Structure 1
């Protein structure tokens, strides 16, 4: 099964230039592939920080891959061998969130609980759907935005494609091994969607 994500060029443009020259071109990428044979053995995860791609195996048999988004510079995700230690359908971050104005518009998209909140504004802790904890210092895997596949952009957690993460959550368990490596391998060309690819 494949999921396609469309990344409009307008996400990179200032708001003053929207819709001045017709609809922006779109680039589509395959965000994941999943083919779990549901056979014997447990699931394991390997995340490559260099390519920003995770590989999923069941007893050594590859059953899928997905793009991820790990910690950006200054908040990088540490390589190592981990195990899922907690699973929650929905967890709210106690470290990060955003602030909205009285009309509900985001006034600060990268806030923390200690960030001063202007009068009338509201702080919202970031929701982390399908949370799978890896460390007790707050690092885990969860659903999140991957706006630029292949680019690290999180605060240290591992973001997984939103439509994919329920599939992994269903077969993972407390104790599932997660290996994070930094291969140093050059980034491969992003997998492009084919004309007949399904959604």
Structure 2
């Protein structure tokens, strides 16, 4: 069973600081929550779904998880542009890791292996693609403003020396960021409060699901 297989028929979207043309470089799609999140029985909370050992292995095999995923937030709806969930109730304090999947446009925040936040994210395309890899948070700025684009970038977590960051955005249809990862501003506020300099953000682009086997 694949980690992410429920795909909505949605085009890729852009962010607050994006060019105005629709994305054509990627066919990333917004997804529903993973099949694992739907199939597994909740343990301990109606808001959280504990993964089985097999589901943990399958999730880890998708890549980008620096902590073995132990549980996911229960999201009983399809997520659209601007949507997010945040719930860290009952999850012990500790360092967080952040995973961004450019194909599915989902950012997930994990603490101790437990997902505490997820949001539909924006990313860059064409000549300003969002880089893949693992990046420690270099700097935090609550009320940062881009000097290059003269645009507000609230709750910035800078990831690279040339300005790639996670920050609050007007998550909307039809454009591409200049390489940053944009998330709904209220979600960015929660993330900013949790993240520390040195926390690691891993950006991946998982392969599209292959054709379903028959016979």
TM range (shorter): 0.5 to 0.7
Q: Measure how far apart 1:72 and its partner are.
A: 2.2
Q: Partner residue of 1:144?
A: 169
Q: Measure how far apart 1:176 and its partner are.
A: 1.1
Task: State yes or no: 1:154 paired with 2:206.
Answer: no
Aligned residues between the structures: 129
Measured against aligned partners, the alpha-carbon deviations of 1:135-174 in whole angstroms (never above 9, x if no partner) come to 01110111112112xx772010111101211111111110
Q: Partner residue of 2:137?
A: 84
- Mapping of residues 25-104 of structure 1, within 5 Å: 29=80, 31-37=83-89, 38-96=91-149
Distance 2:140 2:122 in 1: 19
Q: Report the structure, 1 or 2, having the larger strand content.
A: 1
Distance 1:143 1:87 in 2: 12
Distance 1:73 1:31 in 2: 25
Distance 1:162 1:58, change over 3 A: same
Q: Partner residue of 2:20?
A: none
Check conservation: 1:45, 1:54, Cα contact below 8 A: yes
Q: Partner residue of 2:151?
A: 126
Structure 1, unmatched stretches of 5+, are: 1-27, 97-124, 187-199
Measured against aligned partners, the alpha-carbon deviations of 1:85-126 in whole angstroms (never above 9, x if no partner) come to 100111121221xxxxxxxxxxxxxxxxxxxxxxxxxxxx11
Distance 2:112 2:208 in 1: 25
Q: Partner residue of 2:57?
A: none
Distance 1:141 1:93 in 2: 13
Distance 2:97 2:175 in 1: 22
Check conservation: 1:52, 1:152, Cα contact below 8 A: no
What's the secondary structure of 1:40's corresponding residue?
A: coil
Task: State yes or no: 1:173 paired with 2:196.
Answer: yes
Q: Given the two structures, how large is their TM-score scaled by the length of structure 2?
A: 0.56
RMSD over aligned CA atoms reads: 1.8
What's the secondary structure of 1:163's corresponding residue?
A: helix
Q: Measure how far apart 1:63 and its partner are.
A: 1.3
Q: Given the two structures, how large is their TM-score scaled by the length of structure 1?
A: 0.61
Query: Which of the two has higher C-alpha Rg?
Result: 1
Distance 2:146 2:108 in 1: 26
Q: Partner residue of 1:115?
A: none
Structure 2, unmatched stretches of 5+, are: 1-78, 210-215
Name segments (4+ residues, structure 1) moved above 2 Å.
Answer: none
